[in-house]
Structure 1
Amino acid sequence: MTEKIEKSEAEWRAQLTEEQFNVARKKGTERAFTGKYNDNKENGTYYCVCCGEPLFSSKTKFDSGTGWPSFWKPLENAKVEEVMDRSFFMRRTEVICGKCDGHLGHVFPDGPEPTGLRYCLNSAALDFKKEE
């Protein structure tokens, strides 16, 4: 099991931009079609903006048409955790980083095969490193 990274709110605020903090630590969301990775087509790996944990590969990224970066599976299931989200009078499954509990987005059962899942994530919760 991965050892959890725990920091105070002040430590997270000092490390992250206001938007990153709002999304990743306060469970916010960016507006559709505004995130820097929505249209990213480069090969590489997406990391948690809070702790640097590698989470998703560009090989599983697809254009869902929703306005957020979407993936059909994480690098490893243990890299992310799923939590029931009942906010805004809805029932959704929240996706958080398995290492620091940073909010990434939500997962839905309407993605492509082979998993049928759509991990709909916020660019503000991610960093990207291009494959050389």
Structure 2
Amino acid sequence: MAVRSLIPPLSDIIEAIERIRAELRDVSIDEFAADWRRRWLVERGVEIVSEASRRLTDELKARHPEIPWQKVAGIGNVLRHDYESIAAPIMWKLAQADLPILERVCREELKAEEKSERRD
């Protein structure tokens, strides 16, 4: 059985985080809270991050215990099934504090994965 590349899910996570960051550039939390379109775009980006994280290997996740992988995967379920409980400040904190750490990890892993695939 062929091992599936980690490049697509890592790339999807990075791209989604980049788009979230672009949506929040020069925006205050009050502006974010008042703009339902922007909130929906950020929530969709977080759903993509959540779903793509499920496609990462246990080995990769074990290398980065600083990332709460279960919560990363679980936020997608909350957004899909309990969406009315998601307050703007929660999404704001996630985007501002949590996603940059995840992005850094995914960029490191993507670089290593691309290097590994070039050797093979």
**What is the TM-score normalised by the length of structure 2?**
0.27
Specify which structure has the bigger relative contact order, considering alpha-carbon pairs within 8 angstroms and separated by 6 or more residues.
Answer: 2
Q: Which structure: larger Rg?
A: 2
**What is the TM-score normalised by the length of structure 1?**
0.26
Larger strand fraction of residues:
1
Larger helix fraction of residues:
2
